Structure 1
Amino acid sequence: MVRELTPELAKIAKKELNENPKQVENDLQLLKDWISKQPHLKARTDDQWLIALLRGCKFSLERVKKKVDLYYTLRTTAPDITLRIRPTDPKFLEFFRLGTCLILPKPLDKLYPRVILIRAGRFDPATHNVGDLMCMLYYLVQIMVVEDDVACVMGTKIVTDYEGVTMSHFVQATPSMLKKMVAVSQDSMPLRLKGSHHINLPAGIEKIFTLIQGFLNEKAKQRLKIHKNVEELMEDIPKEIIPPEYGGKGPTIANMTEHWVSKFKEYHDWMIFEEQLGTDESKRIGPPIDADILEDGSFRKLDID
């Protein structure tokens, strides 16, 4: 059963995502039928999950088929990100409590893309890897997909704070890891990326940005912004959702962290089932779809919308 959107969200979904409430049930069934006929694919088929995928692809069944296949293929072929720390492992919450990845609250007075705050400098590169951070993001987004209609319709924005990031962090972002990170977070996840914002950039990061931008299409490049300070950031991101540690009026990082810790506990059984999903590449008919993503020298432009 799909949750009914608020009238305001429904209007946006119709205009921007081509959502037709009278057609949704049929679209969902077509997608379920297609999944059932893919011998290699073990995927979720609950309505709320599939409607998010459809919205993320503007109800293009061909696009959503590719996204479903890629999403679960990467679960199998990129476990160094998607299963690096399993969400049911106590170490998952230990790392999460470092505050490396958080979902900021919704503004009270307007609809706005959900904002994800990434703080890579919070983890020790001697004991953790940037892939651990990506794993946090991966599973946070899954919860948003299931329960947050604003995120599914309006999309997301990512704010990355580089304070505390050292060369030891940067060397973990190898070209191979960057390819997988971009593929997982931007090309396979159901939520649309509406912008990326970057603050507190240390010297020497230009090369990393040049490498990342080579993976993106023009729309994604245009939505990437580097801010000189938090004040400039708040010209784009509502001050009321930014935590007070950054001069905003939102809840503290500690409170947000514990809120999402409780969410992970709430979704424990859901995550156990999630860990069992993926693909059996030996049963796939045709070539692996992610070959152009994971092989060096052939990474395709990502489709950001």
Structure 2
Amino acid sequence: MATASARSLPPMYKTLAKKTLNENQDHVPAHLTSFRRWISSAPHLKVPNDDIFLLGFLRYAHFEHALAQKRLDNFCTLRCSDKVISQWYAYPQLSHPVVDTYLSAGIFIPLGFLANGIKVILIRLGSWSPAVISQQEMRTMNNMNFERLMFDERCQIGGLALLVDMSSTSMEQASQWADIKTSRSAFKLLQEGSPGRVKHLIFYKESKVFDFAFRLTEMWISEKMRERILRVKDDMNKAFKKIHGLKEVLPVEYGGKCGDINTAIERCRAEFKEFYSRGYPLKDIEVDESKRPESAKNYMKEYKEVDSSLMGNSGTFVKIDPGD
């Protein structure tokens, strides 16, 4: 079991946790004891007994236990019981060829930390080849890559900034990424189950296909998330002005000052393999729906189907240049 320790945190993160998350280090052990007591009373859940993992949900909820309980239940339920999302958690072994293929592509690359504690993640849609890595494999590997950040207390406290690069995307890439069924599931996972606290969501070089897909999926985006979306088109300076210190952690290919993209990809590969060489910490999560108590039902809000009329009349096809 990984043990959370105030001594392992840089002073800046201790201060940040106290200021923004209502965290009192002296009270953390008591919070963990209370959280574990609730878990032991939830007959439908099998959850890792890991301090840092559990702290991620308490910190997400600013130590409000009812919210932390709901989030943890949702995380486990989506992972195990959702027909679409559960497929994204069938993690391959490190020796499987898809792992190195994915890591070499550089689709999901954790970068550095901003001065305010936020972790920056670069997502490059154009680096994903559907002919080589299926959408299900890509989303599975992205989840696997993200999951290791859940065990970094700095990410729990500081939150995340996601930079989604849509340059050089093909029609096939854009249409698969924006598929309504999977997009709905992805938003559901991000907004209902993930303990990751997204502080900024930046879209770079969006296409007309993205504009159309974004309009369709807006109904699923929470008001809080809407306020954190920044669409910069071709101008990264908009992001640099909005997010102090972003230039210092981005690769030079994005106008940054922190090495090139290949260096970032290789660093991600090394960190990914080092983390999972120690095992898969969340592999034993289980949910038994037959044992779910009434009090643990209806935790998630409904993500409605998109009105079919928004997709146009049947048989209508309009060709859009994805690079426009």
Contact 1:179 1:294 in 2 (8 A): yes
Change beyond 3 A, Cα 1:24–1:120: same
Alignment-derived partner of residue 174 in structure 2? 170
Alignment-derived partner of residue 95 in structure 1? 102
Change beyond 3 A, Cα 1:232–1:208: same
Change beyond 3 A, Cα 1:82–1:182: farther
Change beyond 3 A, Cα 1:138–1:185: farther
Q: Which of residues 141, 155, 158 in structure 2 aligns to 1:151?
A: 155
Structure 1 position 42 matched with structure 2 position 42: no
Deviation at 1:212, TM superposition (A): 2.6
Contact 2:163 2:202 in 1 (8 A): yes
Tell me which moved more, 122-131 or 22-31: 122-131
Alignment-derived partner of residue 313 in structure 2? none
Tell me which moved more, 51-60 or 179-188: 179-188
* Higher Rg: 2
SS at structure 1 position matched to 2:220:
coil
Structure 1 position 51 matched with structure 2 position 55: yes
The letter for the 2-side match of 1:126 is A
Superposition map of 1:128-277 within 5 A: 128-147=133-152, 149-172=153-176, 173-228=178-233, 229-237=235-243, 238-268=246-276, 270-277=278-285
Tell me which moved more, 198-207 or 274-283: 274-283
Q: Counterparts of 1:46 and 1:175 in 2: how far apart (Å)?
A: 35
Structure 1 position 115 matched with structure 2 position 120: yes
Tell me which moved more, 207-216 or 68-77: 207-216
Q: Which runs of 5+ in 1 are unaligned?
A: 299-305
The letter for the 2-side match of 1:190 is P
Change beyond 3 A, Cα 1:165–1:80: farther
Deviation at 1:293, TM superposition (A): 4.7
SS at structure 2 position matched to 1:104:
strand
Q: Counterparts of 1:270 and 1:68 in 2: how far apart (Å)?
A: 23
SS at structure 2 position matched to 1:72:
helix
How many residue pairs were aligned?
A: 294
| Superposed CA RMSD | 2.4
Percent identical across equivalent pairs?
A: 26
Tell me which moved more, 192-201 or 236-245: 236-245
Q: Counterparts of 1:87 and 1:241 in 2: how far apart (Å)?
A: 30
Structure 1 position 61 matched with structure 2 position 69: no
Task: For residues 13-40 of structure 1, give each alpha carbon's deviation from its aligned partner in whole angstroms, at most 9, with x where no partner exists.
Answer: 1221111222211110111121122222
SS at structure 2 position matched to 1:276:
coil
Change beyond 3 A, Cα 1:295–1:131: farther
Q: TM-score, normalised by structure 1?
A: 0.87
Q: TM-score, normalised by structure 2?
A: 0.82
